[in-house]
């Protein structure tokens, strides 16, 4: 593998560990826990893994440990730092006993089911230390949910003498990790299951989890690009840049990037939903910022848009819901078939409620057509095909044309469009993510060594220097409640959306009018690994604001 | 101005200067020069600035210098390092005499014509040292070509006591700088004009200019993103990423990024033109790479596409040329008007030659329609509106579908699209560009002090440590020839396209089959400012290969 100069230099970085993990540990256990909601139902579903105590590790006398064999799985979308979780876990199990082994299952949870795996060695791990990506073993989106998968898994785990499995994933994958932990515990299979909180979206966090890994690096990479675009925007002074940021549900990425770069406009889906705004409200809000800046002679600006925005607008959510319903054949549960596109559109118009039809007809014609026609294999509207950044800029242009005729807008409006996602999911981890992930992985080995299952590896107090970080574990059931998913009640980890009364949003809301009118751009620049600590070792603004409370 | 931690830390960076510029200089003059082509015509057009010698600066005894007032203009598209040219020039004129003054004309050459300017101070300059962007005074695309502009300019230059003007720009702007130098010399106005080679496109280089500034930083920024995408691509293993890179004429950016990241496919417009390839040839070439990798089980990859590609395909160039001709009314020189889109399309079909019509009809229907209908204000086809990355991936998908039916393709093909331009034009300059630009600006003060006009500021030997860089000046006429532009013969600096017998292309051509089949990705990571020299201080691969010859 040919490497860049930075890859070579960065390979030598030794990630920092909390002091408590730098030698042998003892697990200090708290009181029994409860799930965040639906306690009785969760308890009934997880009789063996419910109510366990929160665990915190403290330094202890070193003691001999038998070798252990551990397996690891990368589940779902890529996030910077996954390789460091693995190298931390590898170093952790080797520190327990040098004859311990670590196996990686290939291309996600499917690797466990299909018995595809590799055994890690020093040389193999060293190739991937402090690098981005999940390419060390690949990832996949197979969901571990079925008994036959669990049974297929136990065969290979037994064959390899694996006593514990670490699953790196988001809210769904960690929920499934807990289901698996419960199943193996109930069957007394003697295999522990530990989860690790991953997702660039930042929506896996709660009282126990400060942040999901990868969020820091991804947001810093996007903010580098937004800052560069803002500098261009402020130099050329002739374009509005509409920048969409990956993340289908929560707007944490957009909010964090706004805190780092101070754009003129940043839309927060959760606020739009809470205020019951219409698409026209959103368009009007942007157009007002454009008009206000134009009045000052500034015919340029930036708009940050969370990818999932469109589905948070209540009227559009309702429309999509009805489209999904009427275009599915109730008899088969599959997409209805039509003789022609025109026939399909006519069917939609005749079967949509008046208010939904009005919303549909308020959209630009091609977007309305696309919503009516394009379906995924399950017959659902393909919302992800809508280029929200272009839709918004076109509608803003139309509104400004109208205002111009009315004498309410005197400037010029021209737009450029960007969508950032893949650019940041596999960036090499920042120092924060490199240290955090290595600690999460190393810590997982201690949860295994102390016999835990159904726990998530947790590192807290990460706004302090790494030596002071707090390491431990939290029973996954503690973070669960019951939610309706695909028409059935399921135990799930509650997804953390942007809280409108949280410190990050409140800070943003207090500043945004100033940022809209003035040109208050900040240019974060690229992630630095070797410079002064205030440049290289800062956490996200979101986390700093949350922890400052 | 609120600043990021990196901006604050980076402000303290002192750019390196060639040893020759670290004190007083003497100008060592070479022999008289000739233009690269059309010597007699160029000489006739530039009687006062033709044939001047190349100048190299060497250290000399220091001597007192009268204060001088200098003006500076940023012309055309943004490029990383412009602020350092200005800070270098500022420090340079102040080092000649602390009472010297530097003025900046606002929003490009228009600022000279319209008498819009600022005077720089220490505090003002310090805010912008080592930062990206042109926002210090803004840039613009007004062309300085007309006598009335020159005469308007001399008024404000005289009012401010300005003896010399520095114009930072690409090939066109430097040509115009020379025309202005010649005009002021002929009129004996006593104002010198000096050019500086800027453009991220990398197409302003020749025997005298090693590289244009900004190319290094922009390519490193794009390569960071391409590397991140490749890591994602190699982790998820399910997408082909089609990545278009800014640059309408030369393919230097795509080639440099390919050298830095080793993608599976990189298209070079100059090669496609030289080999007289059709669009189908290009599509077939990509589809073959996809099919070959699919046969190895690798249904993923990356394709780099220069923005200007489509106009380099000879058949399409010919088609566009005819469309431009037939859709312009010869009587008025303006776009023909039609009653309807259908009437326009019918007119095109009836008036296009059979071979051009065949090319038009080989394009996807919506692209063909767009080519026939969308015109710029001069009646020309709007080639830049064609999303080449999407056009290519759709045509590749169609070809693979056909091959699948014929049993020649057994894999899956799904594409993602990216276009990088604004993300890199205003990045904070790399150490290379920070040093190079500061030296170019500082050096310009020495050209002024030694009485030169019609010269470009030149720094050579930049693959060596900065202390060994060679500073001097080259008469702009030396780089000129006569070319046909907009229907008239004009003296211009020859644009440097990718040379197919040059070292960078030959290196690439020798490796690309291996890169296509294998997954040989390199992940350059973000630009570093504080780390080891092999990480922070490297020039582009293009320049290293060119200078190694």
Judging contacts by C-beta atoms under 8 Å, the chain B residues touching residue A227 are 4
The reply to whether residue B236 touches residue A139, judged by beta carbons under 8 angstroms, is: yes
Judging contacts by C-beta atoms under 8 Å, the chain B residues touching residue A428 are 523, 525-526
If phi over 0 gives left and psi between -120 and 50 gives alpha, with beta otherwise, what is residue B118?
beta
Catalytic residues of B: 201
The catalytic residue among A91, A171, A172, A201 is A201
Top mean pLDDT of A331-335, B202-206, B329-333 is at: B202-206
The reply to whether residue B426 touches residue A228, judged by beta carbons under 8 angstroms, is: yes
Judging contacts by C-beta atoms under 8 Å, the chain B residues touching residue A224 are 526
The reply to whether residue A224 touches residue B526, judged by beta carbons under 8 angstroms, is: yes
**Res A108: pLDDT:** 96
Nearest CB among A6, A241, A422 relative to B422 is that of A241
List the single best residue of B6, B141, B297, B511 to mutate versus A (max A Cβ within 10 A). B6
Burial class (CB within 10 angstroms; exposed 0-12, middle 13-18, buried 19+) of B133: buried
The residue count of chain B comes to 549
pLDDT exceeds 70 at position B549: no
Crossing angle between the packed helical segments B354-362 and B365-373, to the nearest 10 degrees: 130
User: Which residue, B179, B186, B160, is CA-closest to B72?
Assistant: B160
Inter-CA distances, B134 with A234, A242, B379, B420, B457, Å? 8, 21, 31, 19, 19
User: Which residue, A509, A491, A519, A301, is CA-closest to A414?
Assistant: A301
pLDDT exceeds 70 at position A549: no
Distance CA B524, CA B229 (A): 11
Task: State percent of chain B over pLDDT 70.
Answer: 99
List the single best residue of B77, B84, B423, B424 to mutate versus A (max A Cβ within 10 A). B423
Task: State percent of chain B over pLDDT 90.
Answer: 87
User: Contacts from A14-17 at CB under 8 Å and sequence distance 24+?
Assistant: A15/A84, A15/A88, A15/A130, A15/A434, A15/A435, A15/A437, A15/A438, A15/A439, A16/A435, A16/A438, A16/A439, A16/A465, A16/A466, A16/A467, A17/A435, A17/A438, A17/A439, A17/A442, A17/A466
Beta bridge partners of A32: A53
Flag the least confident range among A29-38, A374-383, A505-514, B275-284: A374-383
Crossing angle between the packed helical segments A215-236 and B215-236, to the nearest 10 degrees: 150
As given in the structure block, the two tokens for residue B531 are 């780390």
Burial class (CB within 10 angstroms; exposed 0-12, middle 13-18, buried 19+) of B98: exposed
Q: Which residue of B has its CA nearest to A237?
A: B138
Beta bridge partners of B29: B55
* Residues B333-360 pLDDT 10s: 778 888 888 899 899 999 999 999 999 9
The reply to whether residue A7 touches residue B525, judged by beta carbons under 8 angstroms, is: yes
User: Which residue, B483, B484, B478, is CA-closest to B195?
Assistant: B478
**Res B85: pLDDT:** 98
Nearest CB among B133, B241, B520 relative to A232 is that of B133
Q: Which residue of B has its CA nearest to A240?
A: B422
B339 vs A255, higher pLDDT: A255
User: Which residue, A542, A540, A463, is CA-closest to A499?
Assistant: A542
pLDDT exceeds 80 at position A155: yes
β-strand pairing of A117-119 with B488-493 = unpaired
**Res B355: pLDDT:** 94
Distance CA A192, CA A181 (A): 6
Judging contacts by C-beta atoms under 8 Å, the chain B residues touching residue A107 are 237
Average pLDDT over every residue of B267-290: 97
Average pLDDT over every residue of A385-398: 94
Task: Share the mean pLDDT of chain B.
Answer: 95
As given in the structure block, the two tokens for residue B286 are 């990509």
Distance CA A157, CA A111 (A): 11
* Residues A180-195 pLDDT 10s: 999 999 999 999 999 9
Q: Would you give the distance in Å from CA A355 to the centre of its chain?
A: 34
Nearest CB among B3, B426, B526 relative to A232 is that of B426
Distance CA B298, CA B231 (A): 14
Judging contacts by C-beta atoms under 8 Å, the chain A residues touching residue B534 are 5, 9
* Residues A162-178 pLDDT 10s: 999 999 999 999 999 99
CA distance A410 to chain B (A): 20
3-state secondary structure of A533: helix
Nearest CB among B131, B133, B228 relative to A424 is that of B228
* Residues B58-115 pLDDT 10s: 999 888 899 999 999 999 999 999 999 999 999 999 999 999 999 999 999 999 999 9
* Contact residues for A494 (Cβ-Cβ < 8 A; gap 6+): A36, A37, A171, A206, A479, A480, A481, A483
The reply to whether residue B524 touches residue A260, judged by beta carbons under 8 angstroms, is: no
Are A285 and A279 in contact, with CB atoms under 8 Å apart?
Answer: no
Nearest CB among A425, A526, A528 relative to B224 is that of A526
The reply to whether residue A78 touches residue B538, judged by beta carbons under 8 angstroms, is: no
Are B422 and A232 in contact, with CB atoms under 8 Å apart?
Answer: yes
Judging contacts by C-beta atoms under 8 Å, the chain A residues touching residue B523 are 3-4, 7, 131-133, 428
As given in the structure block, the two tokens for residue A28 are 């200090």
Residue contacts between A and B (CB atoms, under 8 Å)? 189
């Amino acid at each position: 593998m040919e490497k860049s100069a930075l890859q070579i230099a960065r390979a030598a970085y030794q990630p920092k560990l909390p002091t408590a993990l730098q030698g042998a540990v003892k697990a200090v256990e708290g009181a029994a826990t409860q799930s965040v909601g639906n306690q009785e139902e969760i308890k009934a579903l997880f009789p063996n893994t419910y109510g366990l105590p929160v665990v915190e590790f403290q330094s202890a006398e070193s003691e001999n440990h038998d070798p252990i064999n551990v397996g690891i799985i990368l589940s779902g979308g890529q996030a910077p730092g996954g390789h460091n979780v693995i190298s931390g876990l590898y170093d952790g199990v080797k520190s327990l006993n040098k004859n311990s082994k670590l196996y990686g299952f290939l291309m996600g949870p499917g690797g466990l089911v299909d018995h595809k795996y590799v055994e890690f060695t020093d040389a193999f791990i060293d190739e991937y230390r402090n690098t981005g990506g999940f390419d060390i073993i690949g990832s996949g989106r197979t969901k571990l949910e079925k008994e036959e998968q669990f049974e297929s898994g136990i065969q290979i785990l037994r064959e390899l003498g694996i006593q514990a499995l670490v699953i790196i994933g988001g809210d769904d994958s960690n929920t499934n990790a807990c289901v698996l932990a419960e199943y193996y515990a109930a069957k007394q299979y003697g295999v522990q299951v530990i989860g690790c909180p991953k997702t660039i979206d930042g929506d896996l966090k709660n009282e126990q989890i400060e942040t999901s890994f990868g969020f820091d690096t991804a947001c810093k990479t996007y903010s580098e690009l937004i800052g560069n675009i803002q500098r261009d925007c402020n130099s050329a002074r002739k374009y509005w840049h509409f920048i969409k940021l990956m993340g289908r549900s929560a707007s944490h990425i957009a909010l964090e990037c706004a805190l780092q770069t101070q754009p003129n406009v940043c839309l927060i889906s959760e606020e739009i939903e809470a205020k019951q705004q219409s698409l026209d409200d959103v368009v009007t809000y942007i157009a007002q910022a454009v008009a206000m800046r134009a009045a000052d002679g500034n015919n340029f600006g930036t708009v940050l848009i969370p990818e999932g925005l469109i589905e948070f607008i209540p009227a559009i959510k309702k429309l999509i819901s009805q489209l999904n319903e009427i275009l599915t054949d109730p008899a088969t549960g599959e997409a209805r078939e039509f003789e022609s596109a025109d026939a399909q559109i006519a069917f939609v118009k005749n079967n949509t409620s008046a208010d939904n039809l009005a919303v549909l007809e308020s959209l630009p014609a091609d977007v309305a057509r696309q919503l009516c026609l394009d379906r995924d294999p399950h017959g659902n509207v393909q919302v992800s095909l809508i280029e929200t950044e272009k839709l918004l800029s076109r509608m803003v242009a139309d509104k400004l044309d109208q205002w111009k005729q009315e004498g309410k807008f005197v400037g010029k409006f021209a737009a450029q469009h960007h969508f950032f996602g893949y650019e940041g999911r596999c960036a090499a981890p920042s120092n924060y993510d490199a240290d955090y992930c290595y600690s999460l992985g190393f810590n997982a080995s201690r949860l295994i060594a102390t016999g835990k299952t159904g726990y998530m590896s947790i590192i807290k107090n990460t706004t302090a220097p790494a030596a002071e970080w707090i390491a431990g574990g939290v029973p996954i059931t503690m973070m669960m409640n019951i939610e309706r998913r695909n028409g059935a009640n399921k135990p799930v980890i509650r997804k953390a959306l942007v809280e409108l009364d949280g410190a990050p949003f409140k800070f943003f809301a207090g500043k945004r009018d100033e940022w809209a009118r003035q040109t208050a751009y900040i240019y974060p620049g690229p992630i630095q690994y070797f410079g002064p600590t205030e440049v290289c070792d800062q956490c996200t603004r979101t986390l700093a604001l949350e922890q400052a409370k």
